Amino acid sequence: MKRLTERVHHEEQESEEVVWVKREDARIAGKLPIVFSRNYAVRFGGLERLHPFDAAKGKHIHKLLCAQLQLDEGSFYEPTELTKNQLRRIHTRGYLKSLRWSMNVACIAEVPVMAFVPNRYIQRSYLRPMRFQAAGSILAGRLALDYGWAINLGGGFHHCCSYRGGGFCPYADISLLIVRLFEQEPYRVRRIMIVDLDAHQGNGHERDFNNVAAVYILDMYNAFVYPRDHVAKESIRCAVELRNHTEDAFYLRQLKRCLMQSLAEFRPDVVIYNAGTDVLEGDPLGNLAISAEGVMERDRLVFSTFRTLGIPVVMLLSGGYLKASAGVIAASIVNLRLQGLLN
């Protein structure tokens, strides 16, 4: 924690610092604590199709939720793009400077042809949407403290740490959210738990919070796919390394065990739930075999476990590389609402 907070700038918050909602404005009548912006979508002249990630996943979920829950545009909270000063509360100057080079961004996005694209276009079409999504994670964290829960229809960039990006994750939104919660809510938030259920190891936040007692990391992931970061793994306090093609029964049994074990060891003030849907059967990168019903039960278990105890939950969407992911996520959110877990 010290190495991150040492980089926090001591200058006063500037007027542009509007991502963090002031207390008196946190709840707005007629809105649900679901965060979304049309600026989340990556539009790259078709190049985004070269990566299996659904670059418009948030948009598709937003549309489904509006139809199924009878919501309109005004029912959602919308973030403001993160600024350079805000990003520097976590990221090193050297890392942010490296994003000015298209070759570096191409490696992070895993789209080699981007190396030949002018950086100004990359900034506008890829990095700017990612800054909006990262801002959404911060806003969701603030809203969760007042509502008891919040969902960002994006974010969850768990492969990015303060000094390095990767795995389609250019900004460390989880680490930034944690630091901001500790800074802005020192009396309400002293202990944070990350429940990372994306199919891939969350090596970004694990590198940022190694040996930080106030941050507890639960990570269930396929041990045979990217990133296989053994150094970062040392930060996990409750780990389940899954095998390829793991199915619902074993997965959910392990999740229940881990949730109970984690709460026995650590009582958080807030939970950051990284709810990747790349665990779905057929996902080309996750290589697990969890059904849509299994994902819905997974989400229900996480929300019911913590909401029953009055612990706020911030849900981030993270990975998911099937076109079906958007429908599964929307169905799960609707199910959580029907179960009374999104009051």
| pLDDT tens over the chain, length 343 residues | 555 645 443 333 443 444 544 444 467 878 999 999 999 998 866 655 555 667 789 999 999 999 999 999 899 999 999 999 999 999 999 999 999 999 999 999 988 989 999 999 999 999 999 999 999 999 999 999 999 999 999 999 999 999 999 999 999 999 999 999 999 999 999 999 999 999 999 999 999 999 999 999 999 999 999 999 999 999 999 999 999 999 999 999 999 999 999 999 999 999 999 999 999 999 999 999 999 999 999 999 999 999 999 999 999 999 999 989 999 999 999 999 999 999 8
Please report how many Cα atoms fall inside a 13 Å half-sphere around the Cα of residue 37, on the Cβ side: 22
d(CA 79, CA 77): 7
Query: Residue 337: enclosing H or E segment and its boundaries?
Result: helix 325-338
Q: How far apart, in whole angstroms, are the C-alpha atoms of residue 313 and residue 39?
A: 24
Helical spans, DSSP H, in 30-149: 57-68, 84-87, 93-98, 102-109, 119-122, 128-147
Structure tokens at 284: 């080309």
Joined together, the tokens standing for residue 343 give 């009051």
Backbone angles phi, psi at 14, to 5 degrees: -80, 165
pTM summary value: 0.92
User: Which pLDDT belongs to residue 282?
Assistant: 96
| Residue 103 contacts residue 112 (beta carbons within 8 Å) | no
Nearest-angstrom CA–CA distance, 232 and 174 = 15
Q: How far is CA 231 from CA 203, 205, 209, 234, 272, in A?
A: 9, 12, 12, 6, 22
Contact 185, 68 (CB under 8 A): no
For the chain, the average pLDDT equals 91
91 tagged catalytic: no
DSSP 250-264: HHHHHHHHHHHHHHH
* Cβ atoms 94, 86 nearer than 8 A: no
Q: Give the active site residue among 60, 91, 158, 159.
A: 159
Separation in Å, CA 14 to CA 77, 131, 138, 171, 341: 22, 18, 17, 21, 37
Q: From residue 277, how far is each of 61, 112, 206, 322 by CA, in Å? A: 13, 25, 20, 8
Cα–Cα distance measured from residue 333 to residue 317, given in angstroms and rounded to the nearest whole number: 11
- Going from the C-alpha of 42 to that of each of 24, 53, 57, 84, 288, the distances in angstroms are 33, 10, 10, 20, 26
What separation in angstroms does the CA of 210 have from each of 150, 191, 206, 236, 273?
A: 26, 14, 6, 8, 18
- Helices 173-184 & 128-147, crossing angle to 10 degrees? 40
Q: What is the pLDDT of residues 302-337, one digit of tens each?
A: 999 999 999 999 999 999 999 899 999 999 999 999
Counted residue by residue, the chain has a size of 343
Phi (first) and psi of residue 197, to 5 degrees: -115, 20
Handedness of CA 147, 303, 35, 206 (dihedral sign): positive
Three-class SS of residue 216?
strand
Domains of the chain are: 31-339 (3.40.800.20)
How far is it, in rounded angstroms, from Cα 272 to Cα 180?
13
Instruction: Give, as one character, the DSSP assignment of residue 124.
Output: I
- Which residue in 324, 316, 325, 332 sits closest to 158, CA to CA? 316
